Structure 1
Amino acid sequence: MITGISIHSVYVLDQQKALDFYVDILGFEVTADVDMGFMRWLTVAPASQPDRNILLEVPAPPMLPERTAATVRELVTQGAMGTAAILSTDDCQATYDELLAKGVEFTEKPTKQPY
Protein backbone atom coordinates (compact mmCIF):
# COMPACT_ATOMS: atom_id res chain seq x y z
CA MET A 1 0.00 0.00 0.00
CA ILE A 2 1.25 3.48 -0.84
CA THR A 3 1.81 5.51 2.31
CA GLY A 4 2.90 8.86 0.89
CA ILE A 5 4.87 10.81 -1.66
CA SER A 6 8.57 11.24 -0.97
CA ILE A 7 9.71 13.13 -4.09
CA HIS A 8 7.85 15.55 -6.33
CA SER A 9 9.57 16.85 -9.45
CA VAL A 10 9.59 20.54 -10.38
CA TYR A 11 10.98 21.60 -13.75
CA VAL A 12 13.55 24.39 -13.52
CA LEU A 13 15.69 26.01 -16.19
CA ASP A 14 18.70 26.65 -13.95
CA GLN A 15 19.30 24.32 -11.02
CA GLN A 16 21.68 26.69 -9.22
CA LYS A 17 19.20 29.58 -9.34
CA ALA A 18 16.42 27.25 -8.20
CA LEU A 19 18.64 25.92 -5.40
CA ASP A 20 19.47 29.46 -4.27
CA PHE A 21 15.76 30.33 -4.21
CA TYR A 22 14.61 27.22 -2.32
CA VAL A 23 17.47 27.34 0.21
CA ASP A 24 18.25 31.04 0.65
CA ILE A 25 14.73 32.44 0.27
CA LEU A 26 12.36 29.65 1.31
CA GLY A 27 14.69 28.11 3.92
CA PHE A 28 14.67 24.57 2.52
CA GLU A 29 17.61 22.23 3.01
CA VAL A 30 19.49 20.25 0.37
CA THR A 31 18.70 16.55 0.80
CA ALA A 32 20.70 15.29 -2.19
CA ASP A 33 23.10 16.82 -4.70
CA VAL A 34 24.57 14.12 -6.88
CA ASP A 35 26.38 14.48 -10.20
CA MET A 36 25.19 11.45 -12.12
CA GLY A 37 27.18 12.36 -15.24
CA PHE A 38 24.14 12.67 -17.48
CA MET A 39 22.21 14.78 -14.96
CA ARG A 40 22.39 16.40 -11.54
CA TRP A 41 20.05 14.79 -8.99
CA LEU A 42 19.22 17.78 -6.80
CA THR A 43 16.55 17.57 -4.11
CA VAL A 44 15.49 20.00 -1.39
CA ALA A 45 13.00 19.73 1.45
CA PRO A 46 11.64 21.82 4.30
CA ALA A 47 13.75 21.29 7.42
CA SER A 48 10.63 20.17 9.28
CA GLN A 49 9.82 17.50 6.66
CA PRO A 50 13.07 16.06 5.28
CA ASP A 51 11.17 13.12 3.77
CA ARG A 52 9.09 15.44 1.52
CA ASN A 53 11.56 16.20 -1.27
CA ILE A 54 11.29 18.36 -4.35
CA LEU A 55 13.50 17.28 -7.24
CA LEU A 56 14.75 20.39 -9.06
CA GLU A 57 14.84 18.87 -12.53
CA VAL A 58 16.01 20.44 -15.78
CA PRO A 59 13.88 19.17 -18.66
CA ALA A 60 16.55 17.55 -20.84
CA PRO A 61 17.72 14.21 -22.23
CA PRO A 62 17.93 11.42 -21.25
CA MET A 63 14.71 11.91 -19.26
CA LEU A 64 13.02 13.54 -22.26
CA PRO A 65 13.86 13.54 -25.96
CA GLU A 66 15.48 16.90 -26.90
CA ARG A 67 12.50 18.06 -28.96
CA THR A 68 10.11 17.39 -26.08
CA ALA A 69 12.55 18.91 -23.57
CA ALA A 70 12.70 22.12 -25.66
CA THR A 71 8.90 22.32 -25.63
CA VAL A 72 8.79 21.79 -21.86
CA ARG A 73 11.47 24.45 -21.32
CA GLU A 74 9.40 26.90 -23.38
CA LEU A 75 6.30 26.08 -21.31
CA VAL A 76 8.27 26.62 -18.09
CA THR A 77 9.45 29.99 -19.43
CA GLN A 78 5.83 30.97 -20.13
CA GLY A 79 4.68 29.83 -16.69
CA ALA A 80 2.32 27.36 -18.34
CA MET A 81 3.25 24.19 -16.43
CA GLY A 82 0.51 24.51 -13.81
CA THR A 83 0.93 23.99 -10.08
CA ALA A 84 4.25 22.37 -9.29
CA ALA A 85 3.79 22.06 -5.55
CA ILE A 86 1.52 23.46 -2.89
CA LEU A 87 3.43 24.63 0.16
CA SER A 88 1.99 24.91 3.68
CA THR A 89 2.45 27.62 6.29
CA ASP A 90 0.98 28.38 9.70
CA ASP A 91 0.46 32.07 8.82
CA CYS A 92 -0.01 32.80 5.13
CA GLN A 93 0.01 36.58 5.48
CA ALA A 94 3.19 36.62 7.59
CA THR A 95 4.95 34.27 5.17
CA TYR A 96 3.81 36.38 2.23
CA ASP A 97 5.14 39.53 3.91
CA GLU A 98 8.46 37.83 4.74
CA LEU A 99 8.96 36.53 1.20
CA LEU A 100 7.90 39.84 -0.33
CA ALA A 101 10.56 41.56 1.78
CA LYS A 102 13.12 39.08 0.38
CA GLY A 103 12.22 40.12 -3.16
CA VAL A 104 9.91 37.26 -4.15
CA GLU A 105 7.43 38.33 -6.83
CA PHE A 106 3.82 37.20 -6.49
CA THR A 107 1.07 37.25 -9.09
CA GLU A 108 -1.51 38.18 -6.45
CA LYS A 109 -1.89 38.87 -2.74
CA PRO A 110 -3.11 36.14 -0.39
CA THR A 111 -6.89 35.84 -0.20
CA LYS A 112 -9.10 33.62 1.93
CA GLN A 113 -10.45 30.67 0.01
CA PRO A 114 -13.19 28.21 0.99
CA TYR A 115 -10.83 25.27 0.59
Structure 2
Amino acid sequence: MEKRSPRPAGNVGRMDIKLAQCFIAVDDHDKALGFYRDALGLEVRNDVSYETLRWVTVGPPGQPEIGIVLESTVGDPNASEADKEAAATLLAKGLLRGVIFSTDDLDGLFERVSASGAEVLQEPTDQPYGVRDCAFRDPAGNMIRINKRL
Protein backbone atom coordinates (compact mmCIF):
# COMPACT_ATOMS: atom_id res chain seq x y z
CA MET A 1 0.00 0.00 0.00
CA GLU A 2 1.31 3.44 -0.98
CA LYS A 3 1.75 5.90 1.86
CA ARG A 4 0.49 9.38 1.01
CA SER A 5 1.72 12.64 2.43
CA PRO A 6 -0.97 14.65 4.24
CA ARG A 7 0.23 17.80 2.46
CA PRO A 8 0.59 18.36 -1.26
CA ALA A 9 4.12 18.60 -2.63
CA GLY A 10 5.23 21.86 -4.27
CA ASN A 11 2.45 24.13 -5.45
CA VAL A 12 0.13 21.32 -6.47
CA GLY A 13 -3.18 21.70 -4.65
CA ARG A 14 -2.22 24.82 -2.73
CA MET A 15 -4.81 27.51 -2.22
CA ASP A 16 -4.23 31.22 -2.15
CA ILE A 17 -5.25 32.09 1.40
CA LYS A 18 -4.61 35.36 3.23
CA LEU A 19 -5.72 36.89 6.49
CA ALA A 20 -8.62 39.27 5.87
CA GLN A 21 -9.94 40.08 9.34
CA CYS A 22 -9.39 39.23 12.96
CA PHE A 23 -11.34 40.28 16.03
CA ILE A 24 -10.24 41.92 19.26
CA ALA A 25 -12.73 42.09 22.12
CA VAL A 26 -13.26 45.56 23.56
CA ASP A 27 -15.57 46.98 26.20
CA ASP A 28 -15.54 50.61 25.00
CA HIS A 29 -15.15 51.42 21.30
CA ASP A 30 -14.16 55.04 21.88
CA LYS A 31 -11.37 54.11 24.31
CA ALA A 32 -10.28 51.35 21.92
CA LEU A 33 -10.08 53.86 19.05
CA GLY A 34 -7.93 56.09 21.24
CA PHE A 35 -5.46 53.23 21.51
CA TYR A 36 -5.59 51.55 18.10
CA ARG A 37 -6.01 54.69 15.98
CA ASP A 38 -4.31 57.40 18.00
CA ALA A 39 -1.51 55.50 19.79
CA LEU A 40 -0.76 52.66 17.34
CA GLY A 41 -1.54 54.68 14.20
CA LEU A 42 -4.03 52.29 12.59
CA GLU A 43 -6.58 53.60 10.10
CA VAL A 44 -10.31 53.49 10.83
CA ARG A 45 -11.86 51.53 7.98
CA ASN A 46 -15.42 51.27 9.22
CA ASP A 47 -17.39 52.70 12.14
CA VAL A 48 -21.07 51.84 11.88
CA SER A 49 -23.74 51.83 14.58
CA TYR A 50 -27.02 49.94 14.34
CA GLU A 51 -29.42 49.76 17.27
CA THR A 52 -27.27 48.50 20.19
CA LEU A 53 -24.41 47.28 17.98
CA ARG A 54 -21.32 49.10 16.76
CA TRP A 55 -19.02 47.69 14.09
CA VAL A 56 -15.56 49.29 14.13
CA THR A 57 -12.79 48.06 11.86
CA VAL A 58 -9.22 49.37 11.89
CA GLY A 59 -6.19 48.32 9.90
CA PRO A 60 -2.56 49.05 9.17
CA PRO A 61 -1.90 51.91 6.74
CA GLY A 62 -0.92 50.58 3.33
CA GLN A 63 -2.55 47.19 3.96
CA PRO A 64 -6.20 47.67 2.97
CA GLU A 65 -6.78 43.93 2.73
CA ILE A 66 -6.30 43.42 6.49
CA GLY A 67 -8.97 44.49 8.97
CA ILE A 68 -9.11 44.25 12.74
CA VAL A 69 -12.66 44.33 14.08
CA LEU A 70 -12.95 45.92 17.51
CA GLU A 71 -15.77 43.74 18.77
CA SER A 72 -17.91 44.57 21.78
CA THR A 73 -18.11 41.93 24.47
CA VAL A 74 -21.63 43.02 25.39
CA GLY A 75 -23.22 43.99 22.09
CA ASP A 76 -24.01 40.56 20.63
CA PRO A 77 -27.80 40.20 20.80
CA ASN A 78 -27.50 36.39 20.56
CA ALA A 79 -25.24 36.03 23.60
CA SER A 80 -26.80 35.06 26.90
CA GLU A 81 -26.27 37.26 29.93
CA ALA A 82 -24.02 34.55 31.41
CA ASP A 83 -21.90 34.52 28.24
CA LYS A 84 -21.63 38.31 28.23
CA GLU A 85 -20.59 38.29 31.88
CA ALA A 86 -18.02 35.54 31.29
CA ALA A 87 -16.53 37.40 28.32
CA ALA A 88 -16.36 40.65 30.29
CA THR A 89 -14.64 38.85 33.19
CA LEU A 90 -12.02 37.25 30.91
CA LEU A 91 -11.42 40.56 29.19
CA ALA A 92 -11.02 42.44 32.48
CA LYS A 93 -8.41 39.87 33.59
CA GLY A 94 -6.48 40.25 30.33
CA LEU A 95 -7.02 36.59 29.45
CA LEU A 96 -8.27 37.12 25.90
CA ARG A 97 -5.37 37.21 23.46
CA GLY A 98 -4.90 40.11 21.11
CA VAL A 99 -2.58 40.33 18.14
CA ILE A 100 1.09 40.82 17.41
CA PHE A 101 2.03 43.77 15.22
CA SER A 102 5.39 44.25 13.53
CA THR A 103 7.22 47.46 12.72
CA ASP A 104 10.57 48.65 11.42
CA ASP A 105 10.82 51.22 14.24
CA LEU A 106 10.01 49.34 17.44
CA ASP A 107 11.64 51.82 19.79
CA GLY A 108 9.90 54.80 18.17
CA LEU A 109 6.50 53.10 18.28
CA PHE A 110 7.12 52.00 21.87
CA GLU A 111 7.76 55.63 22.86
CA ARG A 112 4.60 56.80 21.07
CA VAL A 113 2.35 54.16 22.63
CA SER A 114 3.92 54.68 26.08
CA ALA A 115 3.34 58.42 25.80
CA SER A 116 -0.36 57.73 25.16
CA GLY A 117 -0.64 56.37 28.69
CA ALA A 118 -1.07 52.72 27.70
CA GLU A 119 -0.07 50.19 30.34
CA VAL A 120 3.41 48.86 29.51
CA LEU A 121 3.78 45.12 30.10
CA GLN A 122 7.25 44.75 28.61
CA GLU A 123 9.77 47.29 27.40
CA PRO A 124 11.59 46.55 24.11
CA THR A 125 13.65 43.40 24.62
CA ASP A 126 15.80 41.29 22.27
CA GLN A 127 14.37 37.77 22.30
CA PRO A 128 16.30 34.54 21.62
CA TYR A 129 13.86 33.64 18.83
CA GLY A 130 14.94 36.44 16.49
CA VAL A 131 12.77 39.43 17.34
CA ARG A 132 12.95 42.51 19.50
CA ASP A 133 9.53 43.05 21.06
CA CYS A 134 7.46 44.90 23.61
CA ALA A 135 3.97 44.52 25.04
CA PHE A 136 1.11 46.73 26.19
CA ARG A 137 -2.43 46.36 27.46
CA ASP A 138 -5.10 48.07 25.44
CA PRO A 139 -7.85 49.94 27.36
CA ALA A 140 -9.95 46.75 27.56
CA GLY A 141 -7.10 44.67 29.01
CA ASN A 142 -5.95 42.77 25.90
CA MET A 143 -2.23 42.12 25.64
CA ILE A 144 -0.89 43.64 22.42
CA ARG A 145 2.64 42.74 21.35
CA ILE A 146 4.75 44.64 18.84
CA ASN A 147 7.90 43.20 17.34
CA LYS A 148 10.73 43.85 14.92
CA ARG A 149 12.71 41.06 13.29
CA LEU A 150 16.39 41.12 14.20
Q: Tell me the CA shift for residue 3 of structure 1.
A: 1.4
Moved more, 29-38 or 11-20: 29-38
> What is the TM-score when the length of structure 2 is the normalising length?
0.68
- Closer/same/farther in 2, CA of residues 41 and 93 from structure 1, 3 Å limit: same
The structure where strand makes up a greater share of residues is: 2
Name the structure 2 match of 1:55.
Answer: 69
> Tell me, which stretches of 5 or more residues in structure 2 are unaligned?
1-14, 130-150
- Closer/same/farther in 2, CA of residues 25 and 111 from structure 1, 3 Å limit: same
Name the structure 1 match of 2:57.
Answer: 43
Amino acid at match of 2:88: R
Provide, for residues 34-75 of structure 1, a one-character-per-residue CA deviation record: whole Å limited to 9, x for no partner: 223341111011112122111111113325322111111111
Provide, for residues 10-40 of structure 1, a one-character-per-residue CA deviation record: whole Å limited to 9, x for no partner: 0001011101221111111111112233411
Corresponding position: 1:75 with 2:90:
yes
The size of the alignment, in residue pairs, is: 114
SS in 2 for 1:107: strand
Matched residues in 2 for 1:54 and 1:69: separation? 21
SS in 1 for 2:100: coil
Name the structure 2 match of 1:100.
Answer: 114
Q: Tell me the CA shift for residue 93 of structure 1.
A: 1.9
> Tell me, which stretches of 5 or more residues in structure 1 are unaligned?
none
> RMSD of aligned C-alpha atoms?
1.6
Alignment of 1:22-33 (within 5 A): 22-33=36-47
Matched residues in 2 for 1:63 and 1:93: separation? 42
Runs of 4 or more consecutive aligned structure 1 residues displaced over 3 Å after TM superposition: none
